[in-house]
Structure 1
């Protein structure tokens, strides 16, 4: 009998220890660890636009380049192709909305047209593609290009931004919004779909000036297209193979400071957007990027500025202090849910692209990324790991 009681007590002790060591999904902690780098023997500063996972290629553009000097390089930094795409027979112009690899071709979306190139940066096809573009950038894009593989094996591109200003805004703006525009880059045909949930705060009759811009993520390994609006709290996962049906709605907490201004939808106009957009972008938090691989991703969020450091007419120094008070976090999403606590990013630059399972490329000004001046360009690669 003594042995039996001792055994039971021992088993209970083991089980209790196991319970203490197994963490819930919400309490798990992850970190980003520097593991590798991309070294480029290119003298002029460049921006990284996209990464081809299967061929391990990068698409780059010179950071200050009115002639649109683009490069395709491999993971060793060797230049495989380059071309200037502002003028000439291969040109698409100056304004770049999105650019990236779609299988073994490269899609450039400009203002009013989409252009398809081969891996040698020679133009193959072009299609009309008219959309409302809020920010017209010269040879640089704010958004990564997402792709999606349909069940018939066809890879399409998420081509739209949905961020143009409407004049006037319809009262049912968010109800009628098609979240995703999928482009077949062989024909230029576009399929549209995806709706905000009727319980979304963006359909509550309120308008959030300049915070209705969506960001997207999907790639050839993704089952769904993931998207969230700057000012929202819901990450939508849509299935284009099932009529853009919403498969998952993942609630993400907004971290303070987050002083968003909203107005009645009936007052929405370009005038009110201009009136409040600076305040919202300065003081409001924003889900402004997603990077990932398959259905595993990091959703980037930046907080608003510290209200105690906000000045109506700031000096240069005060403005820099205010901007520096904004903090960046990443929410780790896997299997249709958030895993762990938000991961704070305290290093310079941004995690621009996924370059492998749980691996992300840091981009930014070279002077900020490194402790000392290098005679080559170097972008570090970070790996997501669970603490402990």
Structure 2
């Protein structure tokens, strides 16, 4: 829940930044008030994950990420898609799912970037070149348009560094957040360098960062779990450059302290016992 509310505040900030004519009225403080609620008739647990302005519909996940619900503003289920487990349209695992241009799209660990149509039919596939794998799931959109290319969360390539969890995360903290694919040639490259102002760059282990990327126009925002700040990137010649780090004052915030990389297991155990939420 903390990450959801933090994400909403980031979106509000981003919206303000993209309205230059309203900058003189820009407020530095925000609040979220519950003004209404919607009941959804669904047997089982689900959670909201995205919204499409093109469809004016919300996307919700249910049944262990195998079913996706399309909800209107009144909470009515206007459509649903259950991912196929067999056949040519089978999807093995979902790294990220969300709307791209109003279509349900998925970053899949084997098939790459997928766009689904009615009843979960695979309408379009952008294959990610080379051998790659993902260490964990992500939040946000499965991919973004970056001029004529497609940007998505960077997978790992090659052998894992070292043997322990600490060595693996140390490598993750040193690499860019996104990978960019040229859909015509299959060439790929990295962009959005890991921000040097993040606590994940202080030389200690802080767990999996759970990066979340939000894009609006040519402004890209990045934030991590267990941090009360976010990072503004701008497009420059097809690359994403860090422009600003925005720190947020959160009263009585609880943040886990980092540990040496060789004490990674100790950190994970303390997080589980303390209940500090990412």
Instruction: Report TM bin, short chain.
Output: 0.5 to 0.7
**Structure 1 length normalisation: TM-score?**
0.51
Per-residue deviation at 1:80?
3.2
Out of 114, 117, 129, the residue aligned to residue 115 of structure 2 is 117
Equivalent residue for 2:54? 54
Structure 1 residues 165 and 100: CA distance shift in structure 2, 3 A: farther
Per-residue deviation at 1:176?
3.6
SS at match of 2:49: strand
Per-residue deviation at 1:128?
3.9
Per-residue deviation at 1:237?
1.3
SS at match of 1:248: strand
Alignment of 1:291-306 (within 5 A): none
Asked if the contact 1:259–1:284 (Cα under 8 Å) also holds between the matched residues in 2, the reply is no
Equivalent residue for 1:207? 204
2:57 and 2:186 map into 1 onto residues whose CA distance is: 25
2:210 and 2:190 map into 1 onto residues whose CA distance is: 15
Equivalent residue for 1:34? 35
Equivalent residue for 1:85? 84
Out of 220, 244, 248, the residue aligned to residue 248 of structure 1 is 244
SS at match of 2:59: strand
SS at match of 1:70: strand
2:228 and 2:70 map into 1 onto residues whose CA distance is: 37
Per-residue deviation at 1:235?
1.6
Structure 1 residues 134 and 43: CA distance shift in structure 2, 3 A: closer
1:277 and 1:128 map into 2 onto residues whose CA distance is: 32
2:265 and 2:73 map into 1 onto residues whose CA distance is: 43
1:83 and 1:185 map into 2 onto residues whose CA distance is: 27
1:175 and 1:41 map into 2 onto residues whose CA distance is: 42
Per-residue deviation at 1:53?
1.4
Alignment of 1:219-368 (within 5 A): 219=215, 221-232=216-227, 234-242=229-237, 243-253=239-249, 255-263=252-260, 268=261, 272-280=263-271, 282-283=273-274, 288=278
Asked if the contact 1:148–1:156 (Cα under 8 Å) also holds between the matched residues in 2, the reply is yes
Structure 1 residues 203 and 190: CA distance shift in structure 2, 3 A: same
SS at match of 1:218: strand
Per-residue deviation at 1:173?
3.5
Per-residue deviation at 1:177?
1.1
- Greater RCO (CA < 8 Å, at least 6 residues apart): 1
Runs of at least 5 residues in structure 1 that lack an aligned partner in the other structure:
1-22, 136-141, 289-388
Per-residue deviation at 1:247?
1.2
**Structure 2 length normalisation: TM-score?**
0.67
Per-residue deviation at 1:188?
6.3
Structure 1 residues 29 and 115: CA distance shift in structure 2, 3 A: closer
Asked if the contact 2:54–2:102 (Cα under 8 Å) also holds between the matched residues in 1, the reply is no
Report the RMSD for the aligned CA atoms in angstroms.
Answer: 3.8
Equivalent residue for 1:195? 193
Higher strand share: 1
Structure 1 residues 88 and 73: CA distance shift in structure 2, 3 A: farther
Runs of at least 5 residues in structure 2 that lack an aligned partner in the other structure:
1-24
